[in-house]
């Protein structure tokens, strides 16, 4: 079902070691896990879900770090020790559903446009910015509106 938590360690170029990992979290574990990862100098490189209509909600947090092997291993261990701490009952809470989000956001685009030096796409009070380099896939040139920002260095 793709519910695997794992961390990989390897030699690094700029430090002793590098780690990358994928951590499965219930939604009430996300905030604490992200806080612990960042405080331990692990980069949170992605947070997403894999499933529609799952309940309880399962999220996948990707981590990455470069440091000494001892620091990285200790940081990952601390992260894994904290996962599950919010669990007061066997059933995960639905913290993101309470209170419900309003139908229309009150975010205004102007301050964000100034910060990003770009004009975002506004729709019903929400704003979307798309950044990323062009990419080439199967000989076809793609810009960031086609998802090129997610391709990283794989297809350039």
**Number of other residues whose CB lies within 10 A of the CB of residue 7:** 19
Domains within the chain, CATH numbers bracketed? 6-97 (3.30.1370), 109-150 (no CATH)
pTM of the model: 0.59
> Which pLDDT belongs to residue 95?
60
The two structure tokens encoding residue 34: 């992200």
| Residue 35 or residue 134, greater confidence | 35
The span from the CA of 108 to the CA of 115, in Å, is: 12
151 has a pLDDT exceeding 50: no
The span from the CA of 21 to the CA of 8, in Å, is: 6
Q: Contact at 8 Å (CB) between 91 and 56?
A: yes
Partners of 6 in the β-ladder? 22
User: What order do you get walking across the sheet with 43-48 strand by strand?
Assistant: 6-11, 17-26, 58-67, 43-48
User: Is residue 99 helix, strand or coil?
Assistant: coil
Q: Confidence band (pLDDT; 50, 70, 90) for 89?
A: low
- Give the chain's mean pLDDT: 79
Lowest-confidence region among 21-25, 106-110, 113-117, 152-156: 152-156
Q: Contact at 8 Å (CB) between 124 and 104?
A: yes
Phi, psi of 74 (to 5 degrees): -65, -40
């Amino acid at each position: 079902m793709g519910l695997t938590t794992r961390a990989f360690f390897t030699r690094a170029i700029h430090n002793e070691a590098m780690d990358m990992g994928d951590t499965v979290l219930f939604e009430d574990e996300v905030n604490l896990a992200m806080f612990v990862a960042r405080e331990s100098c692990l980069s949170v490189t992605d947070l997403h879900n894999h499933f529609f209509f799952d309940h309880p909600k399962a999220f996948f947090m990707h981590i990455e770090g470069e440091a000494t092997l001892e620091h990285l291993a200790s940081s990952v261990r601390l992260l894994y020790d904290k996962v599950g701490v919010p669990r007061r009952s066997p059933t995960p809470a639905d913290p993101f559903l309470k209170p419900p989000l309003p139908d229309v956001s009150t975010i205004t685009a102007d301050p964000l446009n100034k910060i990003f030096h770009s004009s975002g796409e506004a729709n019903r009070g929400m704003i979307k910015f798309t950044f990323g380099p062009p990419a080439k896939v199967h000989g076809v040139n793609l810009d960031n509106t086609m998802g090129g920002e997610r391709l990283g260095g794989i297809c350039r």
